[in-house]
Structure formats: C-alpha cells, structure tokens
C-alpha cells in the first residue's frame, strides 16, 4: 500500500481493528502495521520541562462537514512540516513560546455531520448496501479526479501562509485544486433524522489517510484529533505506546461516568462488553500524529446498522454509546459533548503528562 500512497513518504498508519490489544506491546506483529522508513528509524527524544498543548474546539458551532475537519488537520500538519523543511527539519520544543512558530502540538475537538470513512487499506465491501459503481470509486486503486479519496501529494506553501487566520487557511484549502476534484460517494439511506421530512438521506463516503476499516461519524459523537509530536518529551517515540495511551484516555474518561470498559484482545478501540463504544484510527507524518479517536456519546446508532456497513470490518460485534449504556441502567441525564470533552482533556493531561490550554 505504501508504494501507492500519494500523501507523503513518511506516514505511519495503524489499522484500527488489526492491532493486538495485549499488554505486551512487542506481541503486535509488524505485518499489521503500515510503516515507512522515516518513522521506523528511532531518533533522540527532545527533552523539555513542560509540554503545552493548545486545544481548538468547534463544538459550539455544531457538527461540521468531514472534509472541513480533515482540511483543518492537514493545514495544521503541513504548516508544521513546511516550517521544519525551511529550518532543516530541526525540532526545537522551546519554540512553543515563539508567537511566529507554527510547529506546536494541538488537539482538535469537534463533531461531524453524518459521514462514512474508510482507512487507507480498508475493504470497500464492508459497505454492505453500496452499489458496485460506488465501491469501484472507493477502491484502493482508484485515484485522481472523480475519486472519493481525501489525500494530497503536497500542499502549495502559499496555501499555508496566504491567510491570517486558520479559518481562512482552511477555506483556501477547501477551494484549492487539491480538493476540487475530490467527490465523495453518496450512500442513500432511509432518513434517520426525525426533524426532516425527506424520505431519503444522502451520506457521503470518503477513503482517507488513516489506519482502520469503515466507520461512521455523526452528531452526538465526540471526535478528538491530537496533532502531537511524539519526539517531544514527555511523549514517547513509539506509535504502539501512543495508540495504547489513546485507548487509556477513553477508558479513564468513561470511568468517570461509571462505565467500565476494556481493550480487546484482537481489535483496537474501547469496548463495553461485546460492543465498541469508541473507535481509534491514527496516522503519523514525521512523528506528528493525525486522526485520533471517536467516542460515541449520544449518536444515532442506526447509522451503524449492518445492513449499511460492517462497522470496523468486524463480524458479530456491535456498536454502543454512552447514552445507550446509561439509559439501559435507568439514567435519564446524559452528559453533553462539551462535558465529555472536558473530562477527556483532563484525562489526556494525566495519561500523556502534558499541560493543556484552551484556545
């Protein structure tokens, strides 16, 4: 797969469902990882007395289009990579205090409008209700104009510097030639929105640059995208470690709501009994992480119906949410996305040993 990757030469992508979840990290076979040479070679971790991570949240604005959230990540990532190239790829964590520095760690908090996404190596046949033409457009071999693949070879540096605000930069990116020829496949579903009288709902589908199989994002789901440089202390330059820490953040978050969850012996993510409550899918470029986790707080679970998709490509397992778990035990007060996000950020500080500041 890496020989055909159009985005960059240094991505590391982890299959959401392919990882062993045993406590012994070394037990994860290398054949389950999509890696390239840049991220395989260890380098010295930068030492620093404190790592400050900035949080940007769009929750107050409501659900946003998936492509916009993806472009937000890409803009931040490529600004950092562009600055590193101009500085000879030197990493200086002390530059976090420099107002002109863009090579800073960030966490994006948001919720998406309804969408289905496939990881880079995902099987499009797990979209069980999709027509053959749609599956062909989502095939791993389908690239270029008319494809539904969100990926980029390189970004024009001018796109990263021509705007004074992140919002303007994302707008320029969405209107650029990189995005103009990307057209999602539309999946027609019975309308699951009680506030809309339309009989059919069209939900976009993209193939994207993360590990993992097919999943759904939508309103009521907390999506967290950490863009962290794993070469900077107190983080570790180990993507196995990083993925386990992400799982631990979710487990600790749910523990605060008296929801006992676990890792799975065969499938990455966080599980409540036989059902997945949070999905994990990550990517890394020059050890800067993208994508992250999606925690089901109160989404419409009909989007995960197996007549539409095989969630995460796993047969015989279900998907649940905090709301479903809490209502099944008689609770009527369900936390908001904002409340769960606040809890999750507190857990990220503890698990990763970082300081988080709100933007």
Please identify every residue annotated as catalytic: 312
3-state SS assignment for residue 205: strand
Tokens of 39: 């991220």
Q: How far is CA 98 from the centre of its chain?
A: 28
Q: How many CB atoms lie within 10 A of CB 33?
A: 18
How many Å apart are CA 143 and CA 6, to the nearest integer? Answer: 9
> Alpha-carbon dihedral of residues 269, 114, 73, 169, nearest 10 degrees?
-170
The three-state secondary structure class of 287 is coil
> Is 112 in contact with 217 (CB distance < 8 Å)?
yes
B/e letters for 157-193, b = 16+ CB within 10 Å, e = fewer, are: eebbeebeeeeebbebbbeeebbeebebbebebeeee
- Beta strands 106-110 and 355-358 are unpaired
């Amino acid at each position: 797969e890496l020989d055909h990757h159009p985005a960059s030469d240094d991505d590391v992508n982890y299959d959401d469902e392919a990882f062993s979840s045993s406590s012994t990290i070394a037990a994860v076979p290398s054949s389950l990882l999509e890696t390239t040479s840049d991220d395989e070679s260890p380098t010295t971790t930068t030492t620093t007395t404190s790592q400050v991570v900035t949080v940007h949240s769009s929750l107050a604005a409501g659900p946003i289009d998936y492509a916009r959230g993806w472009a937000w990540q890409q803009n931040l990532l490529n600004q950092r990579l562009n600055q590193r190239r101009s500085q000879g790829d030197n990493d200086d964590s002390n530059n976090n205090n420099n107002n002109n520095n863009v090579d800073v760690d960030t966490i994006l908090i948001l919720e998406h409008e309804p969408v289905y996404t496939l990881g880079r190596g995902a099987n499009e046949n797990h979209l069980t209700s999709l027509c053959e033409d749609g599956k062909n457009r989502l095939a791993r071999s389908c690239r270029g104009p008319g494809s539904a693949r969100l990926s980029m070879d390189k970004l024009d540096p001018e796109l990263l510097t021509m705007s004074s605000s992140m919002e303007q930069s994302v707008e320029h990116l969405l209107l650029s030639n990189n995005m103009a020829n990307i057209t999602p496949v539309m999946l027609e579903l019975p309308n699951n929105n009680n506030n809309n009288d339309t009989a059919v709902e069209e939900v976009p589908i993209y193939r994207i640059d993360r590990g993992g199989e097919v999943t759904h994002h939508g309103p009521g789901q907390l999506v967290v995208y950490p863009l962290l440089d794993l070469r900077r202390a107190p983080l570790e330059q180990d993507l196995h470690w990083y993925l386990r820490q992400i799982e631990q953040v979710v487990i600790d978050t749910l523990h605060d709501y008296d929801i006992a969850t676990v890792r799975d012996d065969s499938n990455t993510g966080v599980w409540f009994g036989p059902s997945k409550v949070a999905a994990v899918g990550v990517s890394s470029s020059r050890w800067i992480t993208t994508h992250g986790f999606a925690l089901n707080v109160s989404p419409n679970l009909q989007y995960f119906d197996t007549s539409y998709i095989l969630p995460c490509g796993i047969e015989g397992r279900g998907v649940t949410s905090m709301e479903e778990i809490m209502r099944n035990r008689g609770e009527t007060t369900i936390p908001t996305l904002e409340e769960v996000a606040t809890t999750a950020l507190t857990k990220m500080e503890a698990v990763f040993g970082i300081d988080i500041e709100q933007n």
